Structure 1
Amino acid sequence: MADRRPILFFDSGMGGLSVLAPTAALLPRAPLVYVADSAGFPYGTRSETEIAARVPALLGRLAERYDPRLIVIACNTASTIALQHVRAALDVPIVGTVPAIKPAAEISRTRVIGVLGTQATVRQPYVDDLAARFAADCTVLRHGSAKLVDMAEAALAGERPSVAAVREALAGLTTQPGGDAIDVIVNACTHFPLLEEELAAATGALVRFVDGGPGIARRVAHLTEGQQWPEVPLPGRAVFTAANARTARLAPALARLGLEAVESL
């Protein structure tokens, strides 16, 4: 019989859909479960201690409930803080999401890179290490924006932000000393690719954005190579840790990605 165990994607909100989508494109028969910790959203303004305790405990409950073959922590903040804790706690393959500083450094011509994430992500020592290892000859500027996260969540529900509002939210990065020389920006939050068009319009054609979604999809495909999948794709599931009016508005966007069933944990 075909293996019906799903791939489980986890994020604080809806940003992880930017990782789920390329994975679904590579593995069209893979059963998918998407979990948004709506009760804990947003992670970017929470403390490291709180995230390090919350994420492994929650993923433990989810692993028992859904029996995933693999878990993707589709959240930069959760990954940079809690990835090792989760791997120590669970006997399930875990794929994390980390800022794409290496590919950004490979394509930057000005050698000035922006790292755009949440406040919690951009201050992590993990980001220091990535910059030192892969962008030592670059100036790496960072900015954490809770406003952009909120804009991305609203955009998924059909409320697109204005380019002016996005440009204002980016000002904390672009107006730093040397910010006018940035030619590559790392989307160090999985929410931000949901604002791809607005970000491009706000920064202009000379700035490129990179994120880890396609690379994570290839990693998942590699780790599941040779495994069995259902012959006919199963309806995907979206799971919220707290259902509310905001999550209800997301149903159409979820359905477009094949997440037809909506559940609460």
Structure 2
Amino acid sequence: MDATAPILIFDSGVGGLTVLAEVRKLLPQAPLIYAADFAGLPYGEKSEAEVAARVSGLLGRMSERYRPRLVTIACNTASTIALGMVRDVLEVPIVGTVPAIKPAASLTSSGVIGLLGTSATIRQKYVDDLEAEFASDKVLLRHACPELVSAAEQKLRGETPDPAVFRAAADGLRIQANGDAIDTVVLACTHFPLVEEELRAEFGTDVTFVHGAYGIARRVAHLTQGNDFRRERPDFAVVTGALEDAADLAPAFARYGFEEVAAF
């Protein structure tokens, strides 16, 4: 294995930066490339066929160009839809992102768990299977709130999202049967931890938020255990679509250690 081969972290937007931050903590010496598919955003409102074709095609081309040692799909929607297809196409290890239902089930005291995700994520059989395996004796309430994706992107751009978006996300779970007993909420989109502070203001301090970033990073570290790492250049980010559309995100990328943002 070439010691300079990077770890590629892929998301539809900036949500995967929450995963990247955890990977950096465990593997500070590993060269990283962050890829954001701004031209395809938002995935959560697309059909399964569209997401699967786009993600597998993009990751195929990115793997040819950057020769990563491992690819992380830091997007719940892309992972629940396209993970199997991508693993069939690429000949490198693939780490996906799945809703953190298992840890949520071990944390809840009331037995009622809320799950916030995109429309595409919450309807996937993958989520049904996770619920059946790890939370069959719990109550799992789901609510689609794609508006939180835009809110997270706004926040990283230095803008102030509409507080009504966070209120609607909380209300969408609480109005359901047993919703008043929720004590644990799964943030089933990598964008959502970016607005955890705003969500906490609506849900209250008695609710625990759970997401998968740390678990993903642990999996990446396990799969690369014993690898040699060497940086020949600073880590960089690539984006699809017009590069100027990402210009106002340059300060956010810089905060995550990316001084260079290039078009893919």
Distance 2:142 2:120 in 1: 11
Amino acid at match of 1:93: P
Deviation at 1:160, TM superposition (A): 3.3
2:146 aligns to what?
146
Matched, 1:237 2:231: no
Q: Is the Cα–Cα contact under 8 Å of residues 163 and 199 in structure 1 kept in the other structure?
A: no
Q: Is the Cα–Cα contact under 8 Å of residues 100 and 188 in structure 2 kept in the other structure?
A: yes
Distance 1:164 1:202 in 2: 10
Match of 1:120, SS state, is helix
Q: Is the Cα–Cα contact under 8 Å of residues 164 and 202 in structure 1 kept in the other structure?
A: no
| Count of residue correspondences | 264
Match of 2:136, SS state, is coil
Match of 2:33, SS state, is strand
Amino acid at match of 2:86: V
Distance 2:201 2:232 in 1: 37
Structure 2, gaps ≥5 residues long: none
Q: How high is the TM-score relative to the length of structure 1?
A: 0.96
Amino acid at match of 1:254: F
Deviation at 1:163, TM superposition (A): 4.3
Shift in CA distance, 113/224, structure 1 to aligned 2, threshold 3 Å: same
Shift in CA distance, 55/165, structure 1 to aligned 2, threshold 3 Å: closer
1:47 aligns to what?
47
Q: For 1:32-57, what per-residue CA distance to the aligned partner results, in whole angstroms no more than 9, with x for missing partners?
A: 11111111100000000111111111
Distance 2:177 2:245 in 1: 38
2:195 aligns to what?
195
Superposed, which structure 2 residues align to 1:103-252 within 5 Å?
103-161=103-161, 163-230=163-230, 234-243=233-242, 245-252=244-251
Deviation at 1:240, TM superposition (A): 0.6
1:254 aligns to what?
253
Match of 2:262, SS state, is strand
Match of 1:235, SS state, is coil
Distance 1:2 1:63 in 2: 14
Match of 2:113, SS state, is strand
Distance 1:162 1:56 in 2: 34
Amino acid at match of 2:15: G
Superposed, which structure 2 residues align to 1:24-39 within 5 Å?
24-39=24-39
Distance 1:141 1:244 in 2: 39
Q: Is the Cα–Cα contact under 8 Å of residues 36 and 240 in structure 2 kept in the other structure?
A: yes
Q: How high is the TM-score relative to the length of structure 2?
A: 0.96
Amino acid at match of 2:254: A
Identity of aligned residues (%): 60
Q: For 1:192-214, what per-residue CA distance to the aligned partner results, in whole angstroms no more than 9, with x for missing partners?
A: 00012111111101110000000
Distance 1:35 1:260 in 2: 14
Deviation at 1:144, TM superposition (A): 1.0
Amino acid at match of 2:248: R
- What stretches of structure 1 move > 6 A for 4+ residues in a row? none
Deviation at 1:233, TM superposition (A): 7.7
Match of 1:51, SS state, is helix
Of residues 217-226 and 39-48 in structure 1, the stretch that sits farther from structure 2 once superposed is: 217-226
Q: Is the Cα–Cα contact under 8 Å of residues 143 and 169 in structure 2 kept in the other structure?
A: no
1:59 aligns to what?
59
Distance 2:184 2:16 in 1: 21
Structure 1, gaps ≥5 residues long: none
Amino acid at match of 2:176: Q
Distance 2:238 2:260 in 1: 8
Match of 1:238, SS state, is strand
Distance 2:236 2:69 in 1: 15
Q: Is the Cα–Cα contact under 8 Å of residues 162 and 198 in structure 1 kept in the other structure?
A: no
Deviation at 1:161, TM superposition (A): 2.6
